[in-house]
Amino acid sequence: MTTLFGAIADDFTGATDLAGLIARSGHPVNLRLGVPDRPPTDTAAFEIVALKCRTAPVEEAVADTVAALDWLKRAGASRFYWKYCSTFDSTAKGNIGPVAEALMQALGATQTVYCPAFPENGRSIFMGNLFVGEQLLSESPMKDHPLTPMRDANLMRLLSPQVAGKVGLANRLTVAAGVDALKARLATLKLDGVAHVVTDAVANDDLSVIAEACMDMPLMTGGSALAMPLPGLYEKAGLLSRASAHAARPEVDAGMIVLSGSCSAMTRKQVARYVEKAASFRLDPLALAEAGPGEALDWLSGQVLDRPKLIYATAEPDAVRKAQEALGVDRAGTVVEEALAALAREAFSRGVRRFVVAGGETSGAVVKALGIDRLAIGAEIAPGVPWTYGTCEGQTVALALKSGNFGDEDFFETAFRRLEEQ
């Protein structure tokens, strides 16, 4: 099948989030983990390349995303999407803005939009300010994120230091006036030399307006929800045939585990709830740095295959800061990722085939450890979190790769139940 839409995501959970929302349309979606090292074959209308570049050095992030863009071009894509987190996770240097500008240059694009809104998950933008529920981003738990603390809710102020071009706003009043009004606003901003346009959205109807107004741009950027209307718009424009039925779930052997590296507020609640129902082991970064994951591996070897199990490094912000002060930010994260990757391999070797993984960095480490480079997309567990299916050593593996703040407090238990219901 010829590819129409090519997306690049800055982490693995964000990529599955995007894939799951597009898959609601019934169209096939391929999710590639890392830039494929082979020419495009067996492609779908919607191809997504998941990278692990959210907190990488800017030069590395730009190089990786441009390589992904080249592969998607060769797959035949003519519409492109740069997907980042719905909380606009970044530092003053990037990587959202630098990557967007590099992709724009490669595509000859003179303007793009930025819209991380995801109303179903409580992310909205009003007058350029990003809200998490009823809180400004800067007042939400994201202000204490260990890698990308978000201390400003204004997306223009966040984006401006990251890009060379001018930044502007298409506010909610314009979006509410409809597609033609938004197109006119974008045209006016382009005449004023504005290349980067933050676009307000507080409801799914707003996303539909933005998607329709911008669907012919060479590049769109945003969270996953902005891409959700695109399959229907492409059908209406005659670019896609009507979607077929969803594929059936593949058979997956028993054996379950939750691996959590996220320290987000919601994941902390999810871990606290699941500890009451599952055998659990807590990873301490300081102990891992000194002695490695041997104790956790020994614990895992004594667990029952098909009983609930949880291994987690999830901790409160103060504990995270203490570990970072002792080990350094990068080392504190690396020892946890390496441990969870080793534990994922050990779990697989002991027959586990059903994995729930919390956290973008953790998800990237786990799928790489399992040697999985492509995922098929299944049914959603919660908005933006689908079950996915890959192959490891000839065995089908089910993975739910969860962004830190997604899902409700019962997510882990719900995930395994939903897998049985499919």
Distance from C-alpha of 420 to C-alpha of 422, rounded to nearest angstrom: 6
Please tell me the class of the 256-421 domain. alpha beta
Domains of the chain, by residue range, sit at 5-236, 256-421
Distance CA 69, CA 52 (A): 15
Nearest to 411 by CA among 375, 358, 361: 358
Beta bridge partners of 115: 222
Q: What number is the average pLDDT over the span 221-243?
A: 94
pLDDT reported for residue 247? 63
**Would the pLDDT of 384 be above 90?**
no
pTM to 2 decimal places? 0.85
Cα–Cα distance, 267 to 364 (Å, whole number): 17
For the cut 90, the answer to whether the pLDDT of residue 207 exceeds it is: yes
pLDDT in tens, 304-335: 999 999 999 999 999 999 999 999 998 999 99
Say yes or no to pLDDT of 245 above 60.
no
- 5-236 and 256-421: same fold? no
Which residues does residue 125 pair with via DSSP β-bridges, in sequence order? 130, 201
Whether omega before 95 lies within 30 degrees of 0, making that bond cis, reads yes
The architecture in CATH of the region 5-236 reads 3-Layer(aba) Sandwich (3.40)
| Confidence at 146, pLDDT banded by 50, 70, 90 | confident
Distance (Å, whole) CA 98 – CA 100: 5
Q: How far is CA 103 from CA 4, 14, 128, in A?
A: 17, 18, 23
Quick one: what percent of the chain has pLDDT higher than 90? 87
Predicted confidence (pLDDT) per residue in 178-203, tens digit: 999 999 999 999 999 999 999 999 99
Report the alpha-carbon distance of residue 143 to residue 373 in Å, rounded: 33
